[in-house]
Amino acid sequence: MANALTEDLKYDYLSVDEPPVRDERIGGCTAYFGCCSGLKDDFRKGCAQALNRKFSQSGGCQLMLAMGIINTISNIVTIIHSPLGCCSNLAGMAGVRNISRASRGLKTENQTFIHTNLDELDVVNGGIEKLRRAILYADKEYQPEVIAIMNGCVPGVIGDDVDGLVRELQPKVSARLVPVHCEGFKSRFVSSGYDAANHGILKYLIREPKDTDESGTETEYESKERISKTVNIFNVGSNSHKDELELSRLIKKLGLIPRVVPLHASVYDLDRLGEAALNVSICATHDDYLLGHLKERYGTEYVLDVLPIGINCTNRWLRKIAGHFHLEKEVEELIEEETKELIKAIEPFVKVLKGKRAFVGGGETRILTTADFYRSIGMEIVGIKSHNLDRFVQYLLDEIDNPHLPVEVAAGQPAEELNLLKRLKPDIYIGHIGANGWVTKLGIPNIPLFGTTINYMGYSGAYELPRRAARALKNTNFSKNISENTELPLSDEWMKTDPKKNIVRGALF
Amino acid sequence: MSDFIERSKFSCALGGAITTITAISKAIPIVHASGGCAAALSNTYNLSSGYRGTGYCGGNMIPTSNITQSHIVFGGEEKLAGQIESTIRYIKGDLYIVVTGCQTELIGDDAVGVALKYRENNVIGVSTPGFKGNTLRGYDEVLCTLIKEVVEKTDEKEEKKINLIGIVPGHDVFFKGNIEHLTDLLKRIGIRANTFFGDGESIEKIKTYGRAKLTVVLSETAGQLAAKAFENVHKIPYITTDLPIGPKATEKFLKLIGEALGIENKIIDRVVKDEKKYFYSYLERIVDAASDLDFQRYAVIVADSYYAYPLTEFVSEELGWIPYFVAVNDIEDDKLQEEYKNKFDRLTSYTKPEILFENKSGIIEKKLDLIFKEQTGSKYHDRPEPMFIIGSVVERVLAKKYGAGFLSVAFPVSNRVVLNKGYAGFRGALTLTEDLLSELVSAR
């Protein structure tokens, strides 16, 4: 059951330089507008996966998501092999990496990144020589443990042989060289970026650990004992350290040893990914590639199921883990104890939120689990928007009992979403970064779907979700003022159009 | 040939184009590229430019052709045409500007040609692939196209009207405030300035920019191509000068433009006298603290050429700080470097700064480390302390390392929220003084 979501998927791609993009490996739907039951049918038949849109707005790029993983590794220099625009958002994130590191008690490190700054001449002559100089500079100046090379669209189109250069330079430098193939144009699923980064980590970064533990004092028996109880929790860029603490706390209560990887991990930790009895995903969309591969490589079983958000999903997540260790009795005790306390604590918020109409938009697993929680405390879910839709959430979709629930599948595309929101007029919107600002301009109070300092996971997260929503409704002046005094660029014609008409079949992807 | 860059303070030409277009009232970018480029590049400026935000039609609202693998094979012109047609129906705008990314330029799509077919619908096209250059190049490409395609040709010139360019929106985090300060000042000496991005500007007004008598460029690296376009297409001559910060620089600025337009000196003198009086009536407030607490600092400036000299000049000539070390991040050409370096000879401080042209943050840090290290080991050392670093948020770690005061002014600025604040002119210089000195008292 644990592997139902990944049944018939293969994870033996290490022999190739580039992993297959999600379009080939997983497939899925990137454009839909309709009701929940329609989407379920169309997805099952494979029709939803063939849809595209006419009027389109900017979405995401897999390079950014790959960078979101790679950039967290300790003692790393990243080289963006591209013109200056790719990852230029790093310019304004000078402190963000260190805020994350400091919150985890890690040593702060200057964020070092290099652009190969490909120009018109490089487009003609190739950018390999510049990349070579950049790698040698990074190795000499900073002696990092890892140098990651993020491949942008330009080298992808002109055909720079980055892997060839890495093979040539690896014996000459002290850092481990990790090429990451994440050219934006290659996939319409930004989640391909997760696979690209994980592929780089699996193929080039991790090596056989020399000792089993840092001090070298652990006996073989102790080491086996430790590993037999160790649970790797695979974190994601959208979870906070508080989330990690909460999930670790619950794992510990079951008598197991939690270890949070791969984000913010050191090379030492990554080399020891195999030293665990169980690998546990908190978001299937993020890391099936990683967990599936680790199963093939080290034989480690994995749980790839639900995001531990809200009471039902946290319970379910814990039961899956406990099941592996035959801790069924212990987990039921834990769940009973935790939920009893929590349900009492959220009572005042539930009172405020009961009957309130909510809309949730963002990544597929996050929105479906978040919506499920708000529904479970008596809110009315009036619509959902998912960035994409694939096999990993099909069962969550099946569990929605309102066949008429309006559903949009779109990465970004605020025009479609605002059109829908204007019709639905929810009391509160819970959404992905990039969407909330537009929703404020529409006059709808909102809270973010996730945040790097917000705890939404586990039971403490299930306290925060209603607490934040209730707070947002205590004073809605900001969105009211903004909507009265700013203008959205969408024309009346668009706002009167049914966004369903924007979805087309058969267009080129 | 260009080299790799460490901790770049620029995005690409497409990024420059997007930040420029979204700063023009009701101008809509249509990005012919892969799906992520537009939102990602726009986001660079939304966050790193003092939280400037997406504005009217930035961020993920930007219409994009969303080029993927199959278009790389079969071409994306058809997709672009469809995208233009839907955008002009669904997005309210006064001008739609098609701009291009690397992918579509590499495969040879003629995006500008496709845009031309929709010219009557207020659509124009500009080629702006990332590999064409940095932010400033994208700014110039967009302005050049506006000047050629949108600004109407006329032989009638207005004697006291100028085009003021070189202030790159978003890349100059304080562009709005700076434009406001300068246009207000110019107005007081009878000159109207066209600015593309200032409050009250519009596409309709941009059409009339051909009536200007003179173009004033406030940067050696941005706006030069646009100034030449004004000269070639509209017969408007141009002069290049620095962003004026503080009484002395601003007086020079007003005199330079006044002279070029034949404004009587006494009009300028009266405005300068009033503004100087105003400036010092406020600066006087901090005289006691500055003297009692010894606010004089060794100034280290790390910025692009647009800000590097003006900031150095201000702290040296107005505040009387020691201009010690200047790193300029954006000039690569040897001759331009030499010319830029010569500006610093004008400083009246006895100490002249060491000038380094460098776009690798690690090399700048090494250089500063060396300055500090030379002094260690001896009992007495004449280090450049107390130091104040004025740069971008990137230099914050250096300030921490050397125990220096710190203010981020040049792009990127992600540690401050900037709304209508500006540092240009007399009043902007007061604001800059407030911000600099607030740093020195913030722990009290």
Token pair 């929790």: residue: A233
Residue A212 pLDDT > 70: no
Phi, then psi, of A29 in degrees rounded to 5:
-110, 135
| Helical pair A458-472 and A310-324, crossing angle rounded to 10 deg | 170
Reduced to 3 DSSP states, what percent helix, strand and coil does chain B have, rounded to the nearest 5? 50, 15, 35
User: Which among B7, B40, B93 is the nearest to A64, CB-wise?
Assistant: B40
Dump pLDDT digits (tens) for B128-176.
999 999 999 999 999 999 999 999 999 999 999 999 999 999 999 999 9
> Which pair of tokens denotes residue B273?
């006298």
Cβ distance B411 to B394 under 8 Å?
Answer: no
**Domain A220-341, what fold?**
Rossmann fold (3.40.50)
Indicate the average pLDDT of chain A: 94
User: What pLDDT shows up at residue A502?
Assistant: 96
**Which residues numbered 48-77 in A keep a CB inside 8 Å of some CB on B?**
54-64
Which H or E run contains A261?
A: strand A257-261
Dump pLDDT digits (tens) for A229-276.
999 999 999 999 999 999 999 999 999 999 999 999 999 999 999 999
Closest residue by Cα to residue B432 from B181, B164, B217, B240: B181
> Which pair of tokens denotes residue B223?
């706006």
Cβ of B342 under 8 Å from any chain A Cβ? no
Q: In chain A, what are the domain boundaries?
A: 62-205, 220-341, 346-505
Q: Which residues of chain B lie closer than 8 angstroms to A157, CB-CB?
A: 72, 102-103, 106-107
Give how far B52 is from chain A: nearest CA, Å.
Answer: 12
All domains of chain B in start order, with CATH = 13-149 (3.40.50.1980), 161-277 (3.40.50.1980), 295-413 (3.40.50.1980)
Beta strands B5-6 and A113-115: pairing type?
antiparallel
Q: Tell me the pLDDT band of B373, cut-offs 50, 70 and 90.
A: confident
Dump pLDDT digits (tens) for B62-113.
999 999 888 888 899 999 999 999 999 999 999 999 999 999 999 999 999 9
Q: Please name every residue paired with A386 in a beta bridge, in sequence order, or none if there are none.
A: A362, A409
Residue A462 pLDDT > 80: yes
**Which residues numbered 128-167 in B keep a CB inside 8 Å of some CB on A?**
129-135
> Which pair of tokens denotes residue A89?
């958002």
- Any idea of the CA torsion for A509, A397, A246, A228, to the nearest 10 degrees? -90
CA distance B177 to B180: 5
| pLDDT average, residue stretch B28-36 | 97
User: What pLDDT shows up at residue B73?
Assistant: 87
Cβ distance B30 to B100 under 8 Å?
Answer: no
Query: Are both A62-205 and A220-341 of the same fold?
Result: yes
Cβ of B2 under 8 Å from any chain A Cβ? yes
Cβ distance B412 to A94 under 8 Å?
Answer: yes
User: Which among A83, A142, A190 is the nearest to B130, CB-wise?
Assistant: A83
User: What pLDDT shows up at residue B376?
Assistant: 64
Q: Which residues of chain B lie closer than 8 angstroms to A190, CB-CB?
A: 36
Burial of A285 (0-12, 13-18, 19+ CB in 10 A): buried
Q: In sequence order, which residues have a C-beta less than 8 Å from that of residue A140 and are 6 or more positions away? A: none
Amino acid at A152: G
Peptide bond preceding A308: is omega within 30 degrees of 0, i.e. cis?
Answer: no
Q: Which residues of chain A lie closer than 8 angstroms to B135, CB-CB?
A: 84
Rg (CA), chain A: 23
Dump pLDDT digits (tens) for B282-334.
999 999 999 999 999 999 999 999 999 999 999 999 999 999 999 999 999 99
User: What pLDDT shows up at residue B380?
Assistant: 84
User: What pLDDT shows up at residue B381?
Assistant: 82
Count CB pairs under 8 A between chains A and B. 257
User: What pLDDT shows up at residue B1?
Assistant: 67
Q: Tell me the pLDDT band of A4, cut-offs 50, 70 and 90.
A: confident
Q: Tell me the pLDDT band of B188, cut-offs 50, 70 and 90.
A: very high
Decide if A84 and B6 are in contact by the 8 Å CB cutoff: no
The CATH architecture assigned to A346-505 reads 3-Layer(aba) Sandwich (3.40)
User: Which among A59, A83, A137 is the nearest to B131, CB-wise?
Assistant: A83
Decide if B393 and A153 are in contact by the 8 Å CB cutoff: no
Dump pLDDT digits (tens) for B207-245.
999 999 999 999 999 999 999 999 999 999 999 999 999
User: What pLDDT shows up at residue A257?
Assistant: 97
Cβ of B35 under 8 Å from any chain A Cβ? yes
Closest residue by Cα to residue B430 from B243, B269, B241, B284: B284
Peptide bond preceding A209: is omega within 30 degrees of 0, i.e. cis?
Answer: no
Closest residue by Cα to residue A460 from A147, A169, A239, A283: A239
Residue A217 pLDDT > 80: no
CA distance B319 to B411: 23
User: What pLDDT shows up at residue A1?
Assistant: 40
**Domain A62-205, what fold?**
Rossmann fold (3.40.50)
CA distance B308 to B310: 6
Cβ of A414 under 8 Å from any chain B Cβ? yes
| pLDDT average, residue stretch B358-369 | 95
Query: Among the residues of B284-419, which ranges form H helices?
Result: 287-292, 305-313, 334-343, 361-373, 396-402
Beta strands A51-53 and A503-505: pairing type?
antiparallel
Q: Which residues of chain B lie closer than 8 angstroms to A51, CB-CB?
A: none
Peptide bond preceding B412: is omega within 30 degrees of 0, i.e. cis?
Answer: yes
Q: Which residues of chain B lie closer than 8 angstroms to A499, CB-CB?
A: none
Q: Which residues of chain B lie closer than 8 angstroms to A115, CB-CB?
A: 4-6, 8
> Which pair of tokens denotes residue A35?
């009701």
Residue A2 pLDDT > 50: no
Closest residue by Cα to residue B23 from B165, B225, B190, B188: B165
> Which pair of tokens denotes residue A198?
């994980």
| pLDDT average, residue stretch B39-65 | 96
Cβ of B22 under 8 Å from any chain A Cβ? no
Query: Do the interacting molecules here have an ipTM over 0.90?
Result: yes
| Position with higher pLDDT, A5 vs B177 | B177
**Residue burial B79-90, b: 16+ Cβ < 10 Å; e: rest:** bbbbbbebbbeb
Dump pLDDT digits (tens) for B387-426.
999 999 999 999 999 999 999 999 999 999 999 999 999 9
pTM of the predicted model, to two decimals? 0.96
Sheet holding B322-328, edge to edge: B354-357, B322-328, B298-303, B387-391, B405-408
Cβ distance A269 to A280 under 8 Å?
Answer: no
Beta strands A357-362 and A428-431: pairing type?
parallel
Q: In sequence order, which residues have a C-beta less than 8 Å from that of residue B11 and are 6 or more positions away? A: A84, A85, A88, A91, B19, B41, B44, B45, B134, B135
Residue A340 pLDDT > 80: yes
